[in-house]
Amino acid sequence: MTVPDTEVRGEPGSFRDPTNRVFYADGEVLRGLDARAAEDWRALAASDFFPPLVAAGKVCGTEPVAAARFPAPDGRPWAAVLRHERIPFVSHPYEWTFGMLRDAALLHLEVLRAALAAGFTIKDGSAYNLQWRGAHPVFIDVGSFEPARDGEPWAGYRQFCQTLLYPLLLTAHLGVDFQPWLRAQVDGIPAEQMRRLFTGARRLLPGVPTHVHLHSALQRRHAAASGSEVREQLRTAGYSRGLALATARRIERLIRRLRPRRVRSHWADYRDTCTYSAGDRAAKERFVAAALTAGPPPELVLDLGANDGRYARLAARHAGYVVAVEQDPAVADELYAALRAEEQPRVLPLVMDLADPSPGGGWRGAERAPFARRARADVVLALAVAHHLAIGRNVPLGQVVDQLADACAPGGRLLVEFVHPEDPMARRLLANRPAGLFGDYRAEVFDRLLAARCRIRRRVELPGGTRTLYEVVVGG
């Protein structure tokens, strides 16, 4: 989207640190800095550690621009303005898989260690400091670097625990998916809640005695203590930069050892039991490839119900960026591991239930944008997904069409597969539901609903005779 020259739009998620703000103008991502933050930026840009992190792609690309063009919200000029590289698709930690959250946490610690070694620190420790370029995490919060004060522990440790370490411990030690916990609490999981989950022998699991129990006990004990007094006491007791580095290394070692504990899921078996014939699969791939190569290459493709990422990878060969949405955390995590091994720069896997997409979160429900507002794709793939929503989740067929079409940018295209009620997979879903409940679930009804909302460009029956593929144009 292009914003007119004079229009400056603030990022609703950027307000907690009053020394700097992210905003958008001219289609660019910018960060305004006050005098103090500008001073920190100059020190950072001249440091030995920061430019190599940017060059390695671990911190988002950043360069100064003329500050006078962009007035601050109070009308006064910023002391400095930075331009950041644009992240292809903004995602939230509760949409990431276990492996993604772990790699994001490890990158955060790596950046922290590099900063500490060079006499800098990071003001906070939030999972929201990170974003993704395909299967590669990137640290985006350039405004949070500042020169370190000797003898001070990391101010972001509590936030790191709440938004990164604790969610990982939940899944690694208890086999509990962390995503709903992070989605429900923008500040993450407090130590006190974790303490109540890790009782009995679970107290002794790696990382739990110190980061959870001792941490929670000390928080309670020192709840009324002044932070600056405690800092001073720690400094005189001999807390050093070396100790801060040792702490970061220990947390890193702990996180490297964590593995998700979970049983094999239904969806992980899905592709093994899925009844595709080789002929159907080949025809489907030809259909998708033809749609993606017709016309200019799409910038953003959404693959809804991505499973093992077969079509997301196919799309990535013809598109700028692909977001592969999968509802099962274990399946999405396998996909992430595979994409990471392939060093895939253009496919972002996300965990999300399409029948319960991410809502707006945080302050005023606007700090973290809902998925529906972020999802505006040039091409949406909805292959073998509509029947799960319509039959599996009782969503009226017309609303399924609306949701899929809404994910397209104006003039965007939707590639959608309708699985006929006679298809073995649809029969299996229908067998679990009372007879007659889904009388409207018919090919001609779907066809009519699609035609009412979109312009049907192509319709192909798969050789098996029980599935139809559509390419439709939405609005525009």
Partner 1 sequence: MEHLAYLDAGSGSLIVQAVVGGVAGAAVAARLYWRRLTARFRRRPADRP
For residue 429, how many C-alpha atoms fall within 13 Å in the half-sphere facing its CB? 23
Q: Give the residue with the Cβ less far from partner 1, 231 or 340.
A: 231
Q: Give the residue with the Cβ less far from partner 1, 17 or 356.
A: 17
Length of the chain: 476
For partner 1, which stretch binds (CB under 8 A), given 152-160, 348-356, 360-368, 460-468?
Answer: 152-160
- Subset of 240-299 contacting partner 1 (CB under 8 A): 242-244, 246-247, 250-251
As measured in angstroms, the least distance from the Cβ of 154 to partner 1 is 6
State the amino acid at position 311 in one-letter form.
Answer: Y
Among residues 76, 196, 221, 264, which is the contact residue for partner 1, using CB under 8 A? 221
Q: Give the residue with the Cβ less far from partner 1, 228 or 432.
A: 228
As measured in angstroms, the least distance from the Cβ of 243 to partner 1 is 4
Among residues 32, 134, 137, 156, which is the contact residue for partner 1, using CB under 8 A? 156
340 binds partner 1 (CB under 8 A): no
As measured in angstroms, the least distance from the Cβ of 214 to partner 1 is 6
Cα distances (Å, whole numbers) of residue 420 to 170, 185, 447: 40, 40, 11
Q: Give the residue with the Cβ less far from partner 1, 91 or 126.
A: 126
111 binds partner 1 (CB under 8 A): no
For partner 1, which stretch binds (CB under 8 A), given 209-217, 258-266, 313-321, 439-447?
Answer: 209-217
As measured in angstroms, the least distance from the Cβ of 79 to partner 1 is 15
As measured in angstroms, the least distance from the Cβ of 143 to partner 1 is 10
217 binds partner 1 (CB under 8 A): yes
Sign of the dihedral through C-alpha 417, 420, 423, 425: positive
Q: Give the residue with the Cβ less far from partner 1, 199 or 226.
A: 226
Q: Give the residue with the Cβ less far from partner 1, 156 or 260.
A: 156
Give the residue from 117, 101, 63, 73 showing the smallest Cα distance to 183: 101
CA 398 to mean position of chain CA atoms = 28
Sign of the dihedral through C-alpha 94, 100, 105, 107: negative
For partner 1, which stretch binds (CB under 8 A), given 67-75, 231-239, 375-383, 444-452?
Answer: 231-239
The SS3 assignment for 344 reads coil
Query: Do 89 and 348 form a contact (C-beta atoms < 8 A)?
Result: yes
Q: Give the residue with the Cβ less far from partner 1, 218 or 366.
A: 218
Structure tokens at 187: 């500040």
As measured in angstroms, the least distance from the Cβ of 218 to partner 1 is 3
What is the pairing mode between strands 300-304 and 377-382?
A: parallel
If you search the block for the tokens 């990982």, which residue do you land on? 168
* Helix boundaries (H) for 154-204: 157-160, 166-169, 179-184, 191-197
163 binds partner 1 (CB under 8 A): no
Looking at residue 437, what DSSP letter applies?
T
Bridge partners of residue 301, in order along the sequence: 322, 379
Give the residue from 108, 106, 95, 96 showing the smallest Cα distance to 59: 108
Looking at residue 1, what DSSP letter applies?
-
Q: Give the residue with the Cβ less far from partner 1, 134 or 143.
A: 143
What is the arrangement of strands in the sheet containing 455-461, beginning at the earlier edge strand?
347-351, 321-326, 300-304, 377-382, 408-419, 467-473, 455-461
- Subset of 121-140 contacting partner 1 (CB under 8 A): 123-124
Among residues 223, 263, 278, 452, which is the contact residue for partner 1, using CB under 8 A? 223
CB atoms within 10 A of CB 426: 22
Per DSSP, the residues of 41-78 read HHHHHTSSSHHHHHHTTSB--EEEE-GGGSB-TTSSBP
Among residues 184, 230, 274, 294, which is the contact residue for partner 1, using CB under 8 A? 230
Among residues 7, 17, 285, 356, which is the contact residue for partner 1, using CB under 8 A? 17
Sign of the dihedral through C-alpha 337, 339, 345, 349: negative
Tell me, residue by residue from 36 to 65, as one string, x for binding to partner 1 by CB under 8 A and - for no binding.
Answer: x-----------------------------
Supply the Cα-derived Rg of the chain in whole angstroms. Answer: 25
State the amino acid at position 215 in one-letter form.
Answer: H
Among residues 51, 57, 64, 153, which is the contact residue for partner 1, using CB under 8 A? 153
Among residues 42, 86, 149, 259, which is the contact residue for partner 1, using CB under 8 A? 149
Contacting positions for partner 1 (CB under 8 A): 16-19, 36, 123-124, 149, 152-159, 161, 210-211, 214-223, 225-228, 230-231, 233-234, 236-239, 242-244, 246-247, 250-251
